[in-house]
Chain A
Amino acid sequence: MSGAGRRDIVIVGAGVNGLVAAGLLAKAGFRPLVVERRAAVGGTAVTEEFHPGFRASMVATTAGPILPTIARELELRRHSFDPIRPAVRTFAPSADGRALLLFEDPSRTAAELAAFSKKDADRFLQFHASLSAIGGLLAPLLSTTPPRIDRPGGGDVLRFGRLGRSFRALPKRDAWRLLRWGPMAVADFAAEWFESEPLRAVISARGVAGCFAGPWSAGTTANLLLAAAADPHSGGAGGFVRGGMGKLSDALAAAARAAGAEIRTGAEVVSVRVVKGAAAGVVLSGGEEIPAGAVVSSADPKTTFLRLVDPAEQDPDFLSNVSNLRSTGTAAMLHFALSGLPDFRALAGKDAAGALAGRIHIGTEVDEIERAYDAAKYGELSPRPYCEASIPSLSDPGLAPAGRHVLSVRAQYAPFALKSGGWNERRRELEDAVVRLVSEHAPNWKSLIVGSRVLTPPDLEATYGMTGGHIHHLEHSLDQVFTMRPLLGWARYRTPIAGLYLCGSGTHPGGGMTGANGANAAREIVRDRKRRT
């Protein structure tokens, strides 16, 4: 079947959210066509060979947050989605050479913490419980279409009422906490709970992951709470996928196809055709036109409105608001092919392979992370970036040749636009900084490196298409969440163009591979389209 005929729905982009939307729309009886620019599906959730014999999840590395409801509904396990949950969530080497370990099992974490602080050990389970309670309250929000607070309708009042009721059902103490924590700096939040610096740094980092904000920036606690809504665990980001993140995308694609969706790769959408204010189809780079009843864009809002839709068809105020959205990427991805497992000093005499199986947090103090952020504010490269590393080949040996390993790093902060010099001259500088930093904790690792790949924010933009190379499409900040994501009045997956929808990370609930954006958008589209027939 060629793509020539008219489609009921065309989805732009086969990233996680595009595929989730496709699967759910197909299950609802539509025949969506997904059009993907790249040769492989997955968007930023892809496994690629970056060095002969070595494969890595190139951008997104965490499969933990994919909403269980979505995984169930699309029967991802039947499509060979195989999540891996290491027993250790986070390993953080401290400045004085000790190992801070956060486990899947919080009571093990608490026991481990006693070596750092008796008080922190005592508080940890309380912290875990509180985060779980609030995460539990927020979790349904992820699958909720933000209400219209500008002009609420009857359904919105009902939804608000339900929200209010579950808020009031919280213990009063937790209700106040929720109100107070949201706008706080995550560094203050961490300090309220704990006294040991390495633990504060680990917790703070979760509030700035992928963001152009430092732990002392107000509102970063909200990011942590949002992450907790998808994965209400005290130990940091969750596990991996066997075969890398690409396997998640493959499973989503298989599920979508099985439900009746069609996916075309290597087909770049260059414009969304608008006729009389309504989306009428898409045009591919070769000139081919695909007429459609509705177009769903999983691309970021800036790409969608500033590049794909003719400005003449749009309200200039709306366009100016879109161009003011903040989407400056400051996270870079680095992948290293290693001839062996690095020896972390802090793990001498311990079960190193077990400790390194989760996330490796490199950033021993809150202020060190903050200083890394400071550099980016002035368009400079952090000389000591904050790094979240992982060695997925430990639990998934298939990613590297036998006995060898892959080490992936998300390094912050690497601003999209450098004040001096271009990224092409300075890519190496970033790599050197990361290598140096990891060497402080694992001196032998440099000699193990046999190959590497560095993806700066401009690389991420060029390869994966996110404006500004921002891994969350739009900055996660108080002014760009929930009813304000991407813009107040347009947070319900619909756009000023009738029949054009958004379903990517630039919508509620933001980035982070939950798939919720795609599922929420699909639900709204079904509601609109069903109503018409």
Chain B
Amino acid sequence: MNKRYDVVVIGGGHNGLVHAAYLARAGKKVLVLERRHIVGGAAITEEVFPGFHFSVASYVVSLLRPEIIRELDLPRHGLEILPLDGTFTPMENGDYLWRVNDHAKTRREIARHSKVDAEAYEEYGKAMIEMGRFVKPILSLTPPDPTSLDPRGLWELLKIGRRFQKLRPEDQQNQVQLMTMSAVDFLDRWFETDVLKATMAASGIIGTFLGVRSPGTAYVLLHHYMGEIDGAFRSWGFARGGTGAISEAIAAAAREAGVEIRTEAPIAQIRVRSGRATGVVLEDGEEIDAAVVSSSVDPRLTFLKMIGRKELPDDFVEDLERYKFRGSSGKVNLALDGLPEFRSLPGAGQHLRGAISISPSIEYMERAYDDAKYGHFSRRPYMDVVIPSLTDPSIAPPGKHVMSCFVQYAPYHLKEGHWDDQREAFGDAVIDALALHAPNIRNHILHRQVLTPLDIERVFGLTEGNIFQGELTLEQLFFLRPAPGWAQYRTPIRGLYMCGAATHPGGGIMGAPGRNAASILLQDSKRRRA
């Protein structure tokens, strides 16, 4: 049993698996250790109630890097993306806004609210695609260290600068504003329709402890347009069989490349001998030797739980303690025996096959955030709702449906009470907020699964329930993620790497951290051998 591996990867989430697959393809002998009984981390499908298969946590595909899909040949390993067309936003006044992929249709729909905005929407889309083109290469870049004198790092920064200079002046302006403004302020420059701005701004706050008016949220608006440039896939979609199917496909690709994957193998400790990682110790005491350990779990678990302060530099520990998680979202999964009927657009139309966004106004969104700022879950939360069983009937019994509600805000740290006592109250608030728009929902709920941020932490090992393994705020991005001076996937412990969402470019089912980290690790091992 005491085999020696080149690399042991901690955590079998999508980043750990991507990372492992790339390493194995480069000839490394790799073992992935997963605490749970299934691989996938937060990208999993589980039969929570008999016959109902839920993408329990992460529920849509949007940003999975096309180069990963291509290089790991994921379609051959069973990945199939089904369309998720459009966003339907019911309003409080009984009207609605329904945007779809068909530009002409969306334009007509927006014109119903504002003619000026319909024009601006086209312009906006074009501008955002330009911005996306600029940002995209940064995603696969290893962040340089601006404080070092290493000319390579400076060269990378200079190259970004050069590309920036080549942008047209209006695109330069858009770019700096995207990086610094709030989603609402940015959208105010383009649009006048409140509901349009509210529902677009929503994508800027997903997974963060920020409101639509908080500076720094505009940047995420880009993500929606990134998919369009990639071309190969729609911007948003479901994986057939649920989100777990993505992880299954990556795992299959990894296995084919020679990766060994062990589930139900929780790690107690990363073994460190004189400043160097030499392997891991499982909770049952089993020791596994490895030349290199690569962790896809968050830095607090990796360093403070699995290694311990005394092996680490004080500054680094201080930075880790400062690293902000602040989980802000929950998930409510519903098994339904019928479809919701929206007051503003009754019937089981196409609008139910896309995303249903409960973001009726900017004030609604911002008030939801205000509740969370002071330690309460939102009484009227923002929600991103999907009914994937309409597109993929295999995941629910005939005639029945699964409905997934991503809910914000649900702060990990409650001011009063404990999440274990507030779970059902939170679930009720979600149903109440939904019922405002679709009153019949109450009659169709067969089962309800409520995941609070505390549950997300317990089940998925995401500290404080942060779905991105740490806030995606400006001070925790790029060369500052996860800690100043340690943004290049390496760590103060020799032979220990980070490859999860807590590294650049962050969370979402993107796979970029796993892939970027693999290339750094391979580079280092080549250098050592040379």
Chain A residues engaging chain B, CB cutoff 8 angstroms: 149-152, 167-168, 172-173, 175-176, 179-184, 188, 192, 213, 216-219, 317, 321, 324, 326, 367, 370-371, 374, 377-378, 477-479, 484, 487-489
Q: Given the known inter-chain contacts A151-B165, A181-B475, please indicate yes or no for A488 contacting B180, CB distance below 8 A.
A: no
User: Quick check: is B214 within 8 A (CB to CB) of the other chain?
Assistant: yes
Q: How far is the CA of A277 from the CA of B172 in the complex (A)?
A: 25
B216 A218 Cβ-Cβ under 8 A: yes
Q: Knowing A168-B149, A184-B475, A218-B473 touch, does A326 contact B176 (C-beta < 8 A)?
A: no
B185 contacts chain A at the CB level, 8 A cutoff: yes
Q: Does B215 lie at the interface of the complex (its beta carbon under 8 Å from any beta carbon of A)?
A: yes
In the complex the two chains form, what is the Cα distance from A181 to B172 in whole Å? 24
8 Å CB contact of A176 from B173, B181, B484 = B484
Given A175-B147, A218-B214, A488-B173, A183 and B475 touching (CB < 8 A)?
yes
Task: Tell which of B169, B180, B484 touches A489, judged by Cβ atoms closer than 8 Å.
Answer: B169
**Set of chain B residues within 8 Å of A321, measured between Cβ atoms:** 173
Bitwise, B205-235 to A at CB < 8 A (1) or not (0) is: 0000010011110000000000000000000
A-B contact pairs, 19 of them (CB 8 A): A151-B165, A152-B165, A176-B484, A179-B484, A181-B475, A182-B475, A188-B324, A192-B322, A217-B215, A218-B210, A218-B216, A218-B473, A218-B474, A371-B374, A374-B370, A378-B363, A378-B366, A478-B215, A489-B172
Q: For the complex, what is the distance from the CA of A97 to the CA of B366, rounded to whole Å?
A: 33
Tell whether B177 is near chain A: CB-to-CB under 8 Å: yes
How far does the Cβ of A195 sit from chain B's closest Cβ, in whole Å? 14
The B interface, classified by DSSP as helix, strand, loop or mixed, is: helix
Cβ-neighbour of B189 out of A183, A324, A370 (below 8 A) = A324
Of B161, B165, B363, B475, the residue contacting A180 (CB under 8 A) is: B475
Residue total for B at the interface (Cβ-Cβ under 8 A): 38
Specify which of A149, A181, A478 is in contact with B164 (CB 8 Å cutoff). Answer: A149
A479 touches B176 (CB 8 A): yes
Q: Which are the 8 A-B pairs with shortest beta-carbon distances?
A: A183-B474, A176-B484, A478-B180, A479-B180, A218-B215, A218-B216, A219-B215, A175-B147
**Residues from chain A with Cβ under 8 Å of B315 in the complex:** 173
Q: Are B373 and A183 in contact (CB under 8 A)?
A: no
Q: How far is the CA of A55 from the CA of B33 in the complex (A)?
A: 74
Determine whether the beta carbon of A377 is less than 8 Å from that of B366: yes
Q: Which residues of B contact A176 (CB under 8 A)?
A: 147, 480, 484-485
**Chain A residues near B147 (CB-CB < 8 A):** 167-168, 172, 175-176
Tell yes or no: B275 within 8 A of A by CB.
no
Query: Which B residues lie within 8 Å of A188 (CB)?
Result: 324
Q: How many angstroms from the CA of A182 to the CA of B370 in the assembled complex?
A: 23
Q: A181-B475, A183-B215, A479-B215 are in contact. List 19 more A-B contacts (CB 8 A).
A: A168-B149, A175-B147, A176-B480, A179-B146, A179-B484, A183-B180, A183-B473, A183-B474, A184-B473, A184-B475, A192-B322, A213-B215, A216-B373, A218-B210, A219-B216, A219-B474, A478-B179, A478-B216, A479-B180
Instruction: Given A180-B484, A181-B475, A479-B181, answer yes or no on A377-B213 (Cβ-Cβ < 8 Å).
Output: yes
Across the interface, B188 reaches (CB within 8 A) one of A173, A183, A324, namely A324
Bound state CA distance, A183 and B219, in angstroms? 13
In-complex Cβ contact of A150 among B165, B188, B189 (8 A): B165
Chain B residues contacting A149 (CB-CB under 8 Å) are 161, 164-165
